[in-house]
Chains A and B, each alone.
Chain A
Amino acid sequence: MTDTPKWVKITREFDAPIDVIWSMWTDPEMFKKWYGPMGMTVPVAEMDVVVGGTRKVSMQMTSPERTMTMWFTGVYKEINAPKRLVYTESMCDEEGTLISPQAMGMPEGYPDITEVIVDLSETGGRTTMTMVHVGVPEGSAGGGGWNQAFDKMVALLS
């Protein structure tokens, strides 16, 4: 890949102890509750939270016209409960077989694998969380199914 990888870094403070925030990321039932806003639900979240263990998550968007389901899989690379979690994320099909992003209509340069790094620390019952999402090169869109559509639109506009 010749593009420079880019990243998003977000730091948030939550009014909850570190164990609660850890479970938000590692307990599938908790994860499902917050991971799918903006009209999307998370019907499936399977997590084998050990180093080298796999995860599989589906995201679903239902509109009057159709239901769109996307699948993501990945591997846990680092687990230091309840302080640090690192996992990869790739697009896949329902069986967990990797799909190249280009086959899904993503632009050239969209990486096959992105990485999510979560660092947590607790002070006085509050938890500071730093999340870094790495690996998506500049100029490409990613994440949602609509991206491919507005990539085309932006191309038309420019």
Chain B
Amino acid sequence: MTDDNQLDAAFAALANPTRRAILARLAEGEATVNSLAAPFDMSLPAISKHIRVLVDAGLVTRGRDAQFRPCKLNGAPLAAVAHWTDQYRHIWGARFDAMDQIIADMKDTQK
């Protein structure tokens, strides 16, 4: 993944309170899916889906233990996201991409 794609994925993954709670729990140490699911009033498949998003974003890795495959926090993408200049650059960059798209749409309408 390019840096930008990774940042996109990390931002998308963080834009959800359940996933942030899961990450906060994992910051204290690795945990199984079952123990991660325990505090939530949510089905195990629903929690697994959230974990999958975090794994895809590179924020969480899964262990090799065949039975439990504990989840572990990977801090690297988080560190990139946490730096405010990166955040603002990213937020404004995405906004200006949207501006570009509006201009392109306006041109299409004029044709």
Contact = CB atoms under 8 A, between A and B. Distances in A.
B92 A16 contact: no
Interface residues on A, range: 35 or more
Contacts of B27: 153, 156-157
Interface in A1-51: 6, 8, 10, 12, 14-16, 20-21, 24, 30, 33-39
Interface in B54-111: 73, 75, 78-79, 81-82, 84-85, 87-89, 91-104, 106-107
Interface residues of B, number: 39
A65 B87 contact: no
A61 B87 contact: no
B88 A133 contact: yes
B85 A6 contact: yes
B39 interface: no
A66 B17 contact: yes
Contacts of B28: 156
Contact of A153 (B18, B24, B93): B24
Contacts of B36: none
A149 interface: yes
Contacts of B103: 14-16, 20
A154 B78 contact: yes
A74 to B, nearest CB: 16
A60 interface: no
B1 interface: no
B84 A136 contact: yes
A150 B15 contact: no
B16 to A, nearest CB: 6
B23 interface: yes
Given A38-B11, A66-B17, A157-B27, A14 B85 contact: no
A151 B82 contact: yes
A24 B17 contact: no
21 contacts: A8-B89, A14-B103, A15-B107, A16-B106, A24-B99, A34-B95, A34-B99, A38-B12, A39-B12, A63-B15, A63-B16, A65-B16, A131-B92, A146-B15, A149-B14, A150-B20, A150-B78, A153-B78, A154-B79, A157-B75, A157-B78
